Amino acid sequence: MTDTALSGVYVLDLSDGMSGGYCSKVLRDLGADVIKIEAPRAGDSTRGMGPFLNGVPNIETSATFLYLNAGKQSLTLNLESDEGRKILRRLIGNSDVLVESFKPGMMDALGLGHSELEKLNLALVTASISYFGATGPYSDYEGSDLVAYAVSGYMYLTGDEDREPLKAGGSQSEYQAGMAGAMSIMAALTHRDFTGEGQHIDVSAIEALNATFDGVGYYSAYENRGVVPKRAGTRLVQREPHGAYPSTLLPCKDGWVHVHYSPSNPEGIAMLTGDERMESDDVLSEMRGHADEIDASLTEWLKDHTREEIQTLAQEIRVPFTMVQSIPEVLEDPQNTARGFFVDIEHPEAGALKYLTSPYRLPESPWHAVRAPLLGEHNRDIICGALGYSDGDFQRLKEANAI
């Protein structure tokens, strides 16, 4: 076996949905062994999210599940049954990490709170991921990705100034919560390496999105200068007249480009557009104060050029302009192709698809392409193999609806 960063780390992912799924995906990408524990029959809720093969709902062809769970094993367990909980407890003894995303208090109600589980395994690290967090006056509030954008303040910073706030594309609170989970689990595993003791981690998706304002002066702008940071269209939220500009999206001949000022070539925009005003002290000393003028000058030039021409011409003179690419375009672009960022993986029901590899393709910890599991695909391996139940026991557990 090739060594990986997390060789020998065993993760039980009891979570439901995207945040815990991404958390344990990151651990899997770094080499941990992950068992995804799913509810019998329906499975993880991401199996119901789609998009599905040919648009037909099918728990085995949901894009969201297939992406987040590639490389994990699937075990179905009914945690409302005594037998189901007993199997979980037996697995805890040989596991390092447990990830869960029930509403705060639910694990305790099931008798599976961390203080109970650590009696079985003192070294266990349990990460509980929720929207509002496990403590505080709103800890029993109902959360969702949309609610997290709102309460975190992220939404107030996204969208056009004169329109309603906007959510980000995709499900970013879920990903940031998952990432905060993975980060804190790594910290707890480090603590454990030195002390032998595990611990409980409380992760909040709302806090994870608010944490993406580090460096914005989100609080200090208000406290020191009375400025409430507010969405500014496709420009950065900062709007001091002397601040750098551009950083925005503008239309061109065949779509949109992201234009950004160049610290290493401040005259670059003038060189591209031929507009001498763009290299004048007047503009360069107060770039954000001239944002509308810079946009107008650039738009005039951009409209005659395609995204690809713009990116190539600008990058040749170290001006960081980039194309806005659609999802189908990103799948096929020359950089991703050259770097092998997408790989073909075959799945018995979803067929062959191009999957993302991982941001973690490390020299000492290679990433391996493995498909997502079918619902309960590893039930027999785990229950009869690892835990030593007999075939008869296995049948009985199935009939008792425990797995």
Partner 1 sequence: MSDNNQRNFPLTGIRIVDLTNVIAGPVSTRVLAQLGAEVIKVEVPWGRAIGNIAMHTDVPGELRPYNKVASFNEVNRGKRSIAIDLAQEEGRILLREIISVSDVVIENYSPRVMGNLELSYESLLTERPDLIMVSMPALGGSGPWSSYISFGPGTDALGGLSDVTGYENGPPHKPGNYYADHNSAFHVSTGIVAALSQRRRTGKGQRMEIVLREVTMAVIGEQFLGYQLSGDAPVRMGSHHRDAAPHNVYPCRGDDEWVVIAVESDEEWRRLCDAIGNPNWSDYDRFATKPDRLDNQDELDSRITDWTRNQTNYEIMHKLQGHGVKAGAVLKSPDVLSDPHFKSRGFIDETDHEDAGTNHHPGLPFRLSRSERRMGVAAPMFAEHSDWALAELLCLEPSDIANLRDKNTTPLEPVDRTF
Range 285-293, long-range pairs (CB < 8 A, 24+ positions) = 285/242, 286/241, 286/242, 287/242, 287/243, 287/244, 287/245, 287/246, 287/261, 288/238, 288/239, 288/240, 288/241, 288/242, 288/243, 288/244, 288/245, 289/241, 289/242, 290/245, 291/235, 291/245, 291/246, 291/248
In the complex with partner 1, the residue whose CB is nearer, 40 or 320, is 320
125-130 and 10-13 as β-strands: parallel, antiparallel, unpaired?
unpaired
Q: How far is the CB of 342 from partner 1 (least distance, A)?
A: 7
In the complex with partner 1, the residue whose CB is nearer, 263 or 388, is 263
Contacts to partner 1 from residues 337-376, by CB under 8 A: 338-339, 341-342, 350, 353-356, 358-360, 362-365
> What phi and psi values does residue 76 have, to the nearest 5 degrees?
-95, 135
CA distances from 13 to 100, 102, 181, 234, 263 (A): 6, 12, 12, 37, 45
Residues in the chain: 403
Write the DSSP symbol of residue 57. Answer: -
Among 74, 78, 204, 379, binds partner 1 (CB under 8 A): 204
In the complex with partner 1, the residue whose CB is nearer, 42 or 356, is 356
Q: How far is the CB of 402 from partner 1 (least distance, A)?
A: 27
Q: How far is the CB of 305 from partner 1 (least distance, A)?
A: 16
One symbol per residue from 142 to 181: x for binding partner 1 (CB under 8 A), - otherwise; what is it?
A: xxxxxxxxxxxxxxxxxxx--xxxxxxxxxx--xxx-xxx
Q: How far is the CB of 386 from partner 1 (least distance, A)?
A: 23
Q: Is residue 191 close enough to count as binding partner 1 by CB under 8 A? A: yes
CA distances from 95 to 20, 44, 103, 138 (A): 17, 21, 22, 32
In the complex with partner 1, the residue whose CB is nearer, 294 or 350, is 350
In the complex with partner 1, the residue whose CB is nearer, 67 or 394, is 67
Q: Is residue 216 close enough to count as binding partner 1 by CB under 8 A? A: yes
Q: How far is the CB of 371 from partner 1 (least distance, A)?
A: 12
One symbol per residue from 221 to 260: x for binding partner 1 (CB under 8 A), - otherwise; what is it?
A: xxxxx--xxx--xxxxxx-x--xx--xxx-x----xxx-x
